[in-house]
Amino acid sequence: MSANRWFATGNFFSAYRDEQRIFTTHLDRAIFITFLAALFIWPLCFEVSSKYMLVLDNILIAMVAIIGLNLVTGFAGLISIGHAAFVGVGAYTLALLARTIGDSHVIITHAWPLMLLACGAMGAVFGGFVGLPALRLKHLYLAIATLSFQMIFQWTINFLPLFNQGQTIPVGRVFWFTGEVSRRDHYFFWYYVTLTIVVIFGLSVRNLLRTRYGRSLVAVRDNDRAADAMGMHPGLTKVYAFGLAGFFAGVAGGLHAYLYRGVGIESFMLHQSITYLAMAIVGGLGTLTGAFFGPAAIRLLDLQVENLVGWSAQFLPATMNLATALKPLTFGLVIVLFLMFEPRGIANWWRICRVYIKLWPFRY
């Protein structure tokens, strides 16, 4: 290694294990750790309204879901149009439990980390099961199979009294070491929980992607005939990809249920699946950082549109429903613009910025 590991610009590896590092310089790592620390500390320094905290919670939950979607659609190349349904599977796992043993049962309120894992496990089981057609189907045909799962999910929830026919099923408030999490602290509490989960999942997936379990995903995307010749079962690898995506979606569903203290079908409809796909595309398919940028960009865009509509209400007649028109319009426009001008997503801008700064003052 070079003498100075803070500002090293080139490669000075002398062992293969040196090259496995995620952060090539100490500076990279220090910046990353500082950034994480800032994310944890800032809500303590400022007065943040519950409204914005809810938006942030939503972004973080979407990140958990998109990490999963990115694994199956970005890395393994299998288009999933039913991701919201997998999120729903997680949420309804919790809802069903709440309905059978009571929404404030000690298991739900005290053992919530275990519950989140259970939601993830259920999501993984459903993901793997829905992924089974991948053993035979490819490309668009497989995408339709995931779409059909979305439909089946919606119908099942809507018509079964067990799930309250899609009406809200309440979930109780959780307990922390300091006692029940109060209404005032609710969104803060879930901000910290979700942020911790995002960090843990992000690092785990980063690790996964540099091992054979990550490479096999990219292998079946790029060429599944060759993947077969390399000694992996391409079909089972795809099922595994769906299972993995289902796990992340399931955990996101569990978080969603706890955050809104209830589960209703409207959060897991087809348009939500499409939104997830859009987040993955805008963030950058096949990149881990994309899973963080995408949800943030789309949700903040939504927020801005809402603000704009609120502002325009001052001088526009009340009968004009600008919000219903503008939301889908901006959403569609953003996707089209990204597909046309930056199909690699925001993650690519991030990559360019990093290289630029790294090379500065030389030209990129």
Partner 1 sequence: MNTLTVSDVTLAFGGLYALSDVNLTIQAGLITSIIGPNGAGKTSMLNCISGFYHPTRGAIRFGDKVLTHASPHQVSNLGIARAFQNIELFRGMTVLDNLMLARHRKLDYRFWHALIYMGRASRQEALNRAFVEEIIDFMELEPYRKQVVGSLSYGVQKRVEVARALTLDPELLLLDEPMAGMNIEEKEDMVRFVLDIQKERRTTVVLVEHDLGVVMDISDQIYVLDFGQLIGSGRPEEVARNPKVIEAYIGED
Query: Residues in the site for partner 1, rule: CB under 8 A?
Result: 15-17, 19-20, 204, 207-208, 210-216, 218-219, 221-223, 225-233, 286
- Closest CB to partner 1 among residues 184, 225: 225
**The two three-digit tokens of residue 328, written as one number:** 């889908």
**The two three-digit tokens of residue 102, written as one number:** 């009571």
Using CA atoms, how far apart are residues 254 and 272, in angstroms rounded to an integer?
16
- Closest CB to partner 1 among residues 213, 350: 213
Using CA atoms, how far apart are residues 68 and 61, in angstroms rounded to an integer?
11
- Closest CB to partner 1 among residues 26, 210: 210
The closest of 297, 239, 258, 260 to 66, measured between CA atoms, is: 297
User: Could you tell me the smallest distance in angstroms from the CB atom of residue 214 to partner 1?
Assistant: 7
**Residues linked to residue 175 through DSSP beta bridges, in sequence order:** 180
- Closest CB to partner 1 among residues 13, 350: 13
Check if the beta carbon of residue 187 is closer than 8 Å to that of residue 54: yes
Check if the beta carbon of residue 119 is closer than 8 Å to that of residue 254: yes
User: Could you tell me the smallest distance in angstroms from the CB atom of residue 211 to partner 1?
Assistant: 4
User: Could you tell me the smallest distance in angstroms from the CB atom of residue 126 to partner 1?
Assistant: 19
User: Could you tell me the smallest distance in angstroms from the CB atom of residue 60 to partner 1?
Assistant: 20
User: Could you tell me the smallest distance in angstroms from the CB atom of residue 218 to partner 1?
Assistant: 6
- Closest CB to partner 1 among residues 132, 147: 132
133 prior amide bond cis, ω within 30 = no
For 41, counting Cβ atoms within 10 Å of its Cβ (0-12 exposed, 13-18 middle, 19+ buried), the class is: exposed
- Closest CB to partner 1 among residues 214, 254: 214
Check if the beta carbon of residue 85 is closer than 8 Å to that of residue 149: yes
Q: Which residue has the tokens 């009571």?
A: 102
Using CA atoms, how far apart are residues 153 and 162, in angstroms rounded to an integer?
13
User: Could you tell me the smallest distance in angstroms from the CB atom of residue 332 to partner 1?
Assistant: 28
- Closest CB to partner 1 among residues 14, 182: 14
User: Could you tell me the smallest distance in angstroms from the CB atom of residue 221 to partner 1?
Assistant: 8
Q: Which residues are CB-neighbours of 205 under 8 A, at least 6 positions away?
A: 67, 71, 214, 288
